[in-house]
Amino acid sequence: MGVSSLFLTLLVLGFIFGTLGEKMHFQSLKQREEKYKNIILSSTKTHEFVENSHHATLVTGHVVVALDYFKRFASIIVNITGGRVFSFESLIDRGRREAVIRMKEQAYRNGFNSIINVRIETSNIGSSAHKKGGMSSIEVMAYGTALNRS
């Protein structure tokens, strides 16, 4: 009895705070993406402004994000029925966008206006929730070379 009520409490808490947190995070992402939209990103190694640029440096952005209890439970269910794992889709989207924004912030602080050769890497860092089956927290890192386009 005690165990099942604890489980339900965690599920409800996870749902409420998880959804709220996600909403706020997406809002702040949207705002900051708007703020740094002048910084151009490219995943190519060469760009027409590379030749006339005389200063370049490596910029990085990282973030570790975790699923909430409700979404983790939902993903276990989806694992049985199959189909789109919506809880991971939004988690990875949040992680990637946040990492890219942090990289852009670093470039902006150092006075650059473009980043080329952008690479984004995602890795699963095991946590205590790992036992329950599958990834629950992911690390995303974005890196690239910041330049000034003229």
Partner 1 sequence: MILTNLESVPGKRITGHQGLVSGSTIRAKHIGRDFAASIKNIFGGELRGYTELLNESRKEAVQRMITQAESLGANAIINIRFSTSSITQGAAELYVYGTAVVVD
Q: Are 54 and 149 in contact (CB under 8 A)?
A: no
Q: What would the two tokens of residue 78 be?
A: 């989806």
Closest CB to partner 1 among residues 75, 82: 75
Site string for partner 1, 85-114 (x = CB under 8 A): ------x------x----------------
Q: Are 137 and 125 in contact (CB under 8 A)?
A: yes
Of residues 114 through 143, those in contact with partner 1 by CB under 8 A are: 116-117, 119, 121, 123-130, 136-137, 139, 141, 143
- Neighbouring residues of 102: CB distance < 8 A, sequence distance ≥ 6: 61, 62, 63, 142
Q: Is 35 in the site for partner 1 (CB under 8 A)?
A: no
CA distance 43 to 64: 23
Which helix (H) or strand (E) segment holds residue 109: the answer is helix 86-109
* Residue in the structure block whose two tokens are 């200063």: 55
Closest CB to partner 1 among residues 2, 82: 2
Contact footprint for partner 1 (CB under 8 A): 10, 13-14, 17-18, 21-22, 25, 45, 50-58, 60, 62-69, 71-72, 91, 98, 116-117, 119, 121, 123-130, 136-137, 139, 141, 143-145, 147
